[in-house]
């Protein structure tokens, strides 16, 4: 009997050690391939296993279908990244809007402009047909980010206008129509608190859960457990107090573990209180990596399948990598970019000034 118990304990201990022994070979470098070039600043990028989509300034947008085949190029066999593309320009009353928000569903994608008027377009993937599904014309309107919980329900967030709350619009019918939420159901903002349209990543959804990070004079987190029906408000210790400081980007690996990255883009070298993390779903946040990072970044994302340990952050200051949940960072490229999304654990697509690129991470 003692032998059986002893063997059982040894087996349990061995299994536990195996679970803890997951070790990632660190990312050492990144290869950057340009796949699209035009006179547009690209801050909105979405990626799935079938497509890469982007939206930018000067009314421009694009849709690329990913190709997993290979082609012959000289003496080499190389991937043919895309087998088709569809790009265009939106013109509204002889004005070309600046798009910084993009969302993707099975049959369509959506692009949302900043400034007045706010214009939200639905673009059908099969036909390329464009529909204007929402317009908001009021002084001060400025939408920052947009995403979908599923193919029918989506949300977009913008700066406060006059009422003292964020501007939030929601669709429940696949994006055919959108409704603006009344301030009575939203947490009250203070003067100087808004959000940044830097990379379309200050809004995150997982299941029914929704998180929004504000910035400026105050940088806080709004949380909804029920797809925007009710909200709670949580403080963060991230750098804040001026109109250019606060959280610029946020990601969650699961319902508990999340990160906010930002700082002050006018003082990009500041590497104190520009990163905060949570382990309780955003209720409390802790500063991390003080003087152990490369300063301001506009976009941060967890690497898929990394158990919440590996992250990439980028901005006009370059690309950085963390293998320990955001406590330490190292620079892997000085390439200036604005926003990105992962295709898998080794490939991502990123937007920047006048281009869209493919990032291949090497271990």
Comparing C-alpha atoms, which of 315, 310, 215, 230 is closest to residue 271? 315
What is the number of other CB atoms lying within 10 angstroms of the CB of residue 6? 10
CB-based burial of residue 16 (10 Å sphere; 0-12 exposed, 13-18 middle, 19+ buried)?
Answer: exposed
Strand partners, 95: 92
Q: Return the pLDDT at 67.
A: 78
Q: Return the pLDDT at 280.
A: 98
Helix or strand holding residue 77 (H, E): strand 76-79
Cα–Cα distance between 347 and 26 in angstroms, integer?
A: 15
Q: Return the pLDDT at 1.
A: 47
Residue 154, token pair as written in the block? 């989506």
- Residues 247-261, mean pLDDT to the nearest whole number: 98
Residue 98, token pair as written in the block? 């600046």
Comparing C-alpha atoms, which of 150, 175, 300, 165 is closest to residue 222? 165
Comparing C-alpha atoms, which of 131, 133, 136 is closest to residue 158? 136
* 329, 322 Cβ separation under 8 angstroms: yes
At 78, is the pLDDT very low, low, confident or very high (cuts 50, 70, 90)? very low
Above 70 in pLDDT, residue 79? no
At 72, is the pLDDT very low, low, confident or very high (cuts 50, 70, 90)? low
Q: Return the pLDDT at 80.
A: 59
Above 90 in pLDDT, residue 350? yes
User: Mapping DSSP to helix (H, G, I), strand (E, B) and coil, where does residue 241 land?
Assistant: coil
At 22, is the pLDDT very low, low, confident or very high (cuts 50, 70, 90)? low
Strand partners, 41: 353
What are the pLDDT digits (tens) for 183-204?
999 999 999 999 999 999 999 9
Domains of the chain in start order, with CATH, are 24-362 (2.130.10.10)
């Amino acid at each position: 009997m003692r032998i059986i118990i002893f063997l059982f304990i040894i087996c349990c201990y061995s299994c536990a050690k195996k679970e803890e022994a997951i070790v990632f070979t660190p990312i050492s470098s990144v290869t950057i391939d340009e796949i699209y070039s035009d006179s547009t600043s690209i801050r909105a990028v979405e990626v799935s296993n079938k497509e890469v989509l982007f939206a930018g300034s000067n009314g421009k947008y694009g849709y690329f279908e990913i190709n997993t085949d290979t082609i012959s190029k000289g003496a080499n066999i190389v991937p043919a990244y895309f087998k088709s593309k569809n790009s265009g320009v939106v013109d509204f009353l002889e004005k070309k809007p600046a798009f910084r928000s993009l969302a993707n569903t099975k049959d369509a994608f959506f692009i949302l402009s900043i400034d007045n008027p706010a214009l939200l377009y639905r673009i059908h993937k099969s036909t390329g047909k464009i529909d204007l599904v929402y317009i908001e014309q009021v002084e001060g309107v400025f939408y920052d980010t947009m995403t979908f919980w599923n193919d029918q329900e989506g949300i977009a967030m913008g700066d406060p206008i006059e009422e003292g709350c964020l501007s939030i619009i929601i669709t429940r019918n696949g994006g055919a129509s959108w409704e603006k939420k009344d301030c009575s159901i939203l947490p009250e903002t203070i003067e100087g608190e808004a959000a940044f349209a830097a990379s379309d990543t200050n809004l995150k959804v997982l299941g029914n859960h929704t998180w929004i990070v504000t910035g400026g004079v105050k940088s806080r987190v709004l949380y909804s457990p029920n797809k925007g029906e009710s909200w709670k408000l949580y403080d963060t210790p991230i750098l804040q107090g001026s109109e250019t400081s606060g959280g610029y980007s946020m990601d969650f690996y699961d319902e508990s573990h999340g990160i906010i990255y930002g700082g002050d883009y006018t003082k990009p070298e500041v590497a104190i209180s520009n990163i905060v993390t949570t382990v309780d779903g955003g209720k409390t946040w802790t500063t991390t990596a003080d003087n152990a990072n490369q300063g301001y970044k506009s976009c941060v994302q967890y690497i898929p399948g990394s158990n919440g340990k590996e992250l990439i952050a980028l901005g006009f200051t370059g690309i950085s990598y963390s293998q320990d949940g955001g406590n330490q960072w190292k620079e892997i490229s000085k390439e200036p970019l604005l926003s990105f999304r992962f295709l898998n654990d080794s490939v991502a697509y990123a937007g920047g000034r006048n281009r869209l690129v493919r990032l291949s991470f090497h271990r």
